[in-house]
Each structure stands twice: as structure tokens, then as C-alpha cells.
Structure 1
């Protein structure tokens, strides 16, 4: 079963991670795609993108939804028709969704040293606590958290470097606090992260809506 990991962050927030091991034809089995889904799938030239797209629809099915239950707003932010909040990500051989009653964001990235070359584009305050010993891993955490915050806020013009801030963290603890400061908007978010198979996954939960305990990894 390619459902790689399930994490319950609270009674109303669940993270589902899929390891994409099946061929494209198998990933398309037992899911009902809408017309727009079929059109998007047909427009994707990369097989890995098509498999990622289909694996997300498989995750929706695991969570009790159909592809038709998902839609996107004018800023590209996904929504569920029942009012639940959702965020989606996929990278190489992994995809994930987080579903909650509160505002959430999620991102998965492969840990690659080249992130050090672009760090100046998204890191500011965080330089004060990053370490040389674990720089690639820590930068990947920073990127994943900031990408998750961006997915929550989904506002054109938002800058990772200028408008987001992450409080010092340790790789062992796997959680921290993060902020969005954009014009008159100030939002506080709990951030959780984990590492597996050379990848990093982070998800953020709005503390403006609820203060939540650390997630419970169900394997």
C-alpha cells in the first residue's frame, strides 16, 4: 500500500503522505476524474507530474473525497466543497495532503545541496540560527515552512524573504512557530516538520484559529 504515512495533528487535522511507486495506469484506477482533471492530466508532458497529480487524487479518496470535491480559487488555492481546509504538495516520489477545520499549508522537498545557492532569495532572519553542519537540511525545513505559509496566505506579491519569519528550531524537535507579516496582516502559525528518505515535509497550522498539540505519527 503506497500510503506512506498518516499523521494526526489534532482531532480535526490529518496529514496523508503517499509514496509514488505505481505506474501511471495503476494510479488512475478506482478514482473518478472530472472533465477538468482529465484535461489537466492530458496537458502534463512530464510523467512524474502526471503520477503526482493522480497520487493526490488517490489521497483524496483515502480521506473520503472524490476529485469533484476539490476546486481552486482565482489565486490557485485549493478548497474542498464541504468547507474543510486543504493543502496539497508533491515532489518526485512523494505527494501529500493536509486536511483540517483551520487554515493549513504543506510542502515536501527533496534535500539537495543546491538549495544553498538560492538561500539568499528566501532567508533573512533565519541566518541567525542556521548551522553549517546541517545547512542543507535546515534550509530545506525553512523553505518547506515558508512554502506552506505561502500556500495558506495565497496572496500575489508575498515574499518568502520579506514577509515570512521562522522562529529558531532544532531538527530533532520537529516543530517551531512561524509568522506572516504582510502589509497590515500579521498571522502566527505552528509549524511541524519531518524527514524521510532524503526528503523534508513541513506543514503549518494557523494559531489564529486554534492552538494545537504536536502531531501524532501513525506510521
Structure 2
């Protein structure tokens, strides 16, 4: 798993991005049996198995950089992942080619990565508000930024049943922007976020803080 990118995001969040090149057997050997949970047994697709193993290996690597003894993850009722026996906040994303993890010791974090793909054009009306839809103008890079930014903010909030179209808004931006502003509304609660954007080989990566 060659390290592609490492960066301090904001003042306290660390990002690691790895290229996924190993086989399932290699990843299992690298991670070790003691870190493989029953969650993996429910995954049948070979590529998804590789992504799961790689993401746990990367979390273990990042946690150890902070002096955290990695003993595994647990998920709450919304499916949000947390380190066992440590209060640091983490977020995970993986695609066919990449695995990325963000760790923030002090506050929630959300991360998402997506490859520019035509499916974002086919489904854009489902996740964009009318002004966002008009701004994107069906341009795939812009759509990818919108999707990743919304998904990252959704993962930072960590609760289900939030409408990307109606409840998460991203302020107007230019394609060259590396810092976006996001706003999530859940009934009377409002969550605002700075969202950092990075590009790697036609993949958009967004980190919500």
C-alpha cells in the first residue's frame, strides 16, 4: 500500500491516502488475524473485502503514528465508526483505487472520495438543490465536488436519514477552490463546516471539519 499523500488538514486533523495495490491475501497478512472482525464475514464481493482490509490497515497505521494502541473499531447505531478505547475521531473512505483515513483527536471529521464518473450526472437532481443543480451545469468535476463535499459533511454529522438535496447545502464555489463551506440542517440543529478539497488522478477527496 504505497502512501500517496499525507497532510495536516486544518490545525488538528491528519489525512493519509494510500494506493490500493495488494491482494486480499497480502492485506490479511499485513493486518493480522486479531484485527479482523465478524463484520468482514458479511462482505462477499472480493473488491469490497480488499477495501475493508486496507481501510483497517490504514487506520491502524495512522493511530500508531499518534501513539494510539489500535485494538479495532466499533460502530454506533448510525453506522459511524469509532476507535475502541480511544476518543479520537476518525473517518474512512475507499474507492476501487484508493483508501483514505482522517484522524482528528479533538473534533468530528468526515471524509469522502469519489472518482469522476457519468453516474454523477445521471443522479445529480437527487442530491443537488435547484441553485446547486444550475450552478453545476452538468459539469462532471463540479458535480463530483458537490457530491464529495456533501458526503463528507454527512459523515461528519454521523446520523442517518439526512437528505443531501434538502438538508445539506454547499456554498457557491469555483472548480479551482480547495476550501468550501457547507451547512447541514436537521430540524432545528444547524451544523456548519469547512470542507477541504484535494484531487488525485481524477478522484475528488473532501474532508469536512
The TM-score, its normalising length taken from structure 2, stands at: 0.89
For the pair 1:126 / 2:111, whether they are aligned, the reply is no
User: Do 1:32 and 1:67's aligned partners in 2 also have CA atoms closer than 8 Å?
Assistant: no
In the alignment, what sits opposite 2:44? 45
Considering Cα pairs closer than 8 Å and 6+ residues apart, tell me whether 1 or 2 has the greater RCO.
1
In the alignment, what sits opposite 1:77? 80
User: Do 1:112 and 1:136's aligned partners in 2 also have CA atoms closer than 8 Å?
Assistant: yes
For structure 2, the residue ranges without an aligned partner over 5 or more in a row are none
User: Do 1:32 and 1:66's aligned partners in 2 also have CA atoms closer than 8 Å?
Assistant: no
Per-residue CA deviations over 1:174-202 (Å, capped at 9, x if unaligned) read 11110001101111100111121121111
The TM-score, its normalising length taken from structure 1, stands at: 0.85
For the pair 1:176 / 2:180, whether they are aligned, the reply is yes
For structure 1, the residue ranges without an aligned partner over 5 or more in a row are 206-219
In the alignment, what sits opposite 1:137? 141
Tell me how far apart the structure 1 counterparts of residues 171 and 32 of structure 2 sit (CA, whole Å). 42
SS of residue in 2 equivalent to 1:59 = helix
In the alignment, what sits opposite 2:14? 14
SS of residue in 2 equivalent to 1:102 = coil
Tell me how far apart the structure 2 counterparts of residues 22 and 159 of structure 1 sit (CA, whole Å). 36
In the alignment, what sits opposite 2:120? 115
Q: Report the alpha carbon displacement of residue 114 of structure 1 after superposing the two structures with TM.
A: 2.1
User: Do 1:33 and 1:68's aligned partners in 2 also have CA atoms closer than 8 Å?
Assistant: no
User: Do 1:57 and 1:66's aligned partners in 2 also have CA atoms closer than 8 Å?
Assistant: no
Aligned residues: 202
Tell me how far apart the structure 1 counterparts of residues 76 and 156 of structure 2 sit (CA, whole Å). 13
Tell me how far apart the structure 2 counterparts of residues 12 and 193 of structure 1 sit (CA, whole Å). 16
Per-residue CA deviations over 1:64-93 (Å, capped at 9, x if unaligned) read 156524211111001123101111111111
Q: Report the alpha carbon displacement of residue 33 of structure 1 after superposing the two structures with TM.
A: 4.2
SS of residue in 2 equivalent to 1:83 = coil
Instruction: Indicate the structure with greater helix content.
Output: 2
SS of residue in 2 equivalent to 1:115 = helix
For the pair 1:188 / 2:187, whether they are aligned, the reply is no
In the alignment, what sits opposite 2:58? 59
Tell me how far apart the structure 2 counterparts of residues 50 and 66 of structure 1 sit (CA, whole Å). 24
